[in-house]
Amino acid sequence: MQTLKVIKIGGNIIDDEDALNSFLEDFAQLKSPKILIHGGGKLATKLAQEMNVEVVMNEGRRITDAKTLDIITMVYAGKVNKTIVAKLQANNCNSVGFSGADGNSIVSEKRPIQEVDYGFVGDVKKVNTPIIQVLLDNGITPVFSAITHDENGQLLNTNGDTIASELAIAFAKAYRTELYYCFEKNGVLKDINDDDSVIENINTETYQTLLKDGTISDGMLPKLKNCFYALEHQVQKICIGKPAMLFNENITHTTIQK
Amino acid sequence: MQTLKVIKIGGNIIDDEDALNSFLEDFAQLKSPKILIHGGGKLATKLAQEMNVEVVMNEGRRITDAKTLDIITMVYAGKVNKTIVAKLQANNCNSVGFSGADGNSIVSEKRPIQEVDYGFVGDVKKVNTPIIQVLLDNGITPVFSAITHDENGQLLNTNGDTIASELAIAFAKAYRTELYYCFEKNGVLKDINDDDSVIENINTETYQTLLKDGTISDGMLPKLKNCFYALEHQVQKICIGKPAMLFNENITHTTIQK
């Protein structure tokens, strides 16, 4: 069975042009079929400021009104996605940019209003693999921005980590699938202020302990939830750490396993 | 031989949400393989104003500095392209949004600086059909924004009419290709102020006369240049007029023929 690498890159790589160029140069060299998922980094917030659109956050999550959705679509699916695709082409990695609307690849539903109205935020309902599969079969690397749609013409803002895990799960039948979350830290840390305190392995049992003792908190909570969700759905290998872990197995990082 | 329709829609359709919805509803019903090309209408100018970026024009053409290229990429490839793709999905027309960077489909080169420096403007050098062909073979409608790339990582702003004619020419070997330029007028007009003065047929001979007597001028000059260029390169049918001509053959429009 062929291996498919599903790789999510975080905002810090996108915000730093040199880091992005260097990452894409290495990424282009990865031999196996691969899918890249990206968000928009600080660019969306910067554009909102330039347009005098207020950024409203609730517990670290962006409230997406119509104007904010426009900004996110422009930055994520426009500027960032096309910049990445053009740079990959320059590195001889033939790629096609995707939102979930393209090829009807990721269908989501608008999050129901409960305590908070998150606006145009979508929770993934279904991944349709055929068109992505056709591209992978033709040696193309799909590059996904964190935008989905509801099949009724509405674009929706969707968490990039979730898109990565849902794509990995959707392809777990056709490939031996590996899921990589690349961000600015070396992995899941025991002490958030000490980048050397990486927890190298987390399994279902130790996960519960780390949750209980509060080691896993804030932004790491949804990321690890996505990891264990993928693990339960036949994704074979799940890693969290700096992008360097993709190109050198000896680089310290966190591996999630059963 | 199968017929491929290559359809360019102008800014006026994009600027009017009802007109766009109605057009896309009809477009989705067109049975034959088809490619849609769009610009960004007034949205790019509006965003430039909101961001306090000066719009500099030279003889009706936008000067594209780095900031303007960002705006165009965000509006054309982001907001407009993804909105169209999501609306087509809602009309059961499976589509994938493209810039020329995606699939390395349209390669251009930065226009050399002569009397005017147009900035990041690209003239089409090559159309690569394989990936678009794969999508067409799988029943997918490619939707192109007027952005290309130079294969060295640089995105470039490219005339949408030119992209349409170059795509039509590139597929003229594999299909009986038809090229449609849809805009706000009924066709090429004898009197620009009289929408009933449509010249229904223009051939190589009458084209020369219309050029000499000044009937064809301003924005119509490059459009017709694209038409005759396509005609000389095996495009079978070329029409200019309102979108309605696509869905009803009796609607008055201009046909370009040998």
HEC per residue, chain A: CCEEEEEEECHHHHHCHHHHHHHHHHHHHCCCCEEEEECCCCHHHHHHHHCCCCCCEECCEECECHHHHHHHHHHHHHHHHHHHHHHHHHCCCCEEEECCCHHHCEEEEECCCCCCCCECEEEEEEECCHHHHHHHHCCCEEEEECEEECCCCCEEECCHHHHHHHHHHHCCCCCEEEEEEECCCCCCECCCCCCCCECCEECHHHHHHHHHCCCCCCCHHHHHHHHHHHHHCCCCEEEEECHHHHCCCCCCCEEECC
State how far Cα A184 lies from the chain centre.
Answer: 14
Q: Do B103 and A94 touch (CB under 8 A)?
A: yes
- Residue B171 has what pLDDT? 98
Q: Does B130 contact chain A (CB < 8 Å)? A: yes
Angle at the Cα of A137 from the Cα atoms of A133 and A143, rounded to 5 degrees:
60
Contact B258, B230 (CB under 8 A): no
Q: Does B120 contact chain A (CB < 8 Å)? A: no
pLDDT value at A61 more than 90: no
Pairing label, strands B176-182, B237-241: parallel
Q: Domain ranges in chain A?
A: 3-256
Contact A247, A5 (CB under 8 A): no
Percent of chain A at pLDDT > 90 equals: 84
Distance CA A64, CA A148 (A): 13
Q: Do B149 and A86 touch (CB under 8 A)?
A: yes
Q: Does A9 contact chain B (CB < 8 Å)? A: no
Q: Do B99 and A85 touch (CB under 8 A)?
A: yes
Fill in the amino acid letter for A181.
Y
Residue with tokens 């349709």: A128
Q: Name every chain A residue with its beta carbon within 8 A of the beta carbon of B96.
A: 96, 98, 102-103, 131
Q: Is B178 helix (H, G, I), strand (E, B) or coil?
A: strand
> What token pair was written down for A32?
């196996």
- Residue B11 has what pLDDT? 79
Scored b (16 or more CB within 10 A) or e, A69-99 reads bbbbbbbbbbbbbbbbbbbbbbeebbbbbbb
Distance CA B167, CA B164 (A): 5
| A153 assigned binding-site residue | no
Phi-psi region of A71 (alpha: psi -120 to 50; beta: other; left: phi over 0): alpha
> Measuring CA to CA, which residue among B104, B91, B101, B107 is closest to residue B34?
B91
Percent of chain B at pLDDT > 90 equals: 84
pLDDT, tens digit (0-9, with 9 covering 90-100), for A160-215 = 999 999 999 999 999 999 999 999 999 999 998 999 999 999 999 999 999 999 99
Distance CA A200, CA A203 (A): 10
Cβ count near A175 (within 10 Å):
20
What is the distance in angstroms between the Cα of A186 and the nearest Cα belonging to chain B? 29
ipTM of the complex: 0.96
What CATH number labels A3-256? Answer: 3.40.1160.10
Give the sheet arrangement for strand A95-98, strand by strand.
A95-98, A141-145, A34-38, A3-9, A176-182, A237-241, A254-256, A201-202
Distance CA B149, CA B122 (A): 8
- Residue A192 has what pLDDT? 87
> What token pair was written down for A59?
């517990």
Distance CA B147, CA B79 (A): 13
More confident residue, A105 or A114: A105
Interface test with A, best of B67, B81, B102 (most A CBs within 10 A): B102
- Residue A41 has what pLDDT? 78
pLDDT value at A60 more than 80: no
What is the sign of the dihedral through the CA atoms of A153, A98, A183 and A234? Answer: positive
What is the distance in angstroms between the Cα of A209 and the nearest Cα belonging to chain B? 43
Give whole-number Cα distances, B21 to A154, B15, B84, B188, in Å: 13, 11, 9, 25
- Residue B218 has what pLDDT? 82
- Residue A212 has what pLDDT? 93
Task: Give the start-end residues of each E strand in B118-175.
Answer: 122-127, 141-145, 147-149, 155-157
Give the sheet arrangement for strand B237-241, strand by strand.
B95-98, B141-145, B34-38, B3-9, B176-182, B237-241, B254-256, B201-202
pLDDT, tens digit (0-9, with 9 covering 90-100), for B75-134 = 999 999 999 999 999 999 999 999 999 999 999 999 999 888 999 999 999 999 999 999
Q: Is B51 helix (H, G, I), strand (E, B) or coil?
A: coil
Residue B36, H or E segment: strand B34-38
What is the distance in angstroms between the Cα of A248 and the nearest Cα belonging to chain B? 26
Mean pLDDT score, A135-153: 98
Contact A180, A38 (CB under 8 A): no
Percent of chain B at pLDDT > 70 equals: 100
pLDDT, tens digit (0-9, with 9 covering 90-100), for B159-172 = 999 999 999 999 99
Per-residue pLDDT of chain B (258 residues; tens, 9 = 90+): 999 999 999 978 999 999 999 999 999 999 989 999 998 878 999 999 999 998 888 776 778 999 999 999 999 999 999 999 999 999 999 999 999 999 999 999 999 998 889 999 999 999 999 999 999 999 999 999 999 999 999 999 999 999 999 999 999 999 999 999 999 999 999 998 999 999 999 999 999 999 999 999 888 898 999 999 999 999 999 999 999 999 998 999 999 998
**A&B contacts, CB < 8 Å:** 132
Contact A28, A86 (CB under 8 A): no
What is the distance in angstroms between the Cα of B235 and the nearest Cα belonging to chain A? 27
Q: Does B70 contact chain A (CB < 8 Å)? A: yes
- Residue B12 has what pLDDT? 87
- Residue A253 has what pLDDT? 97
Cβ count near A250 (within 10 Å):
7
- Residue A248 has what pLDDT? 94
Distance CA A91, CA A233 (A): 33
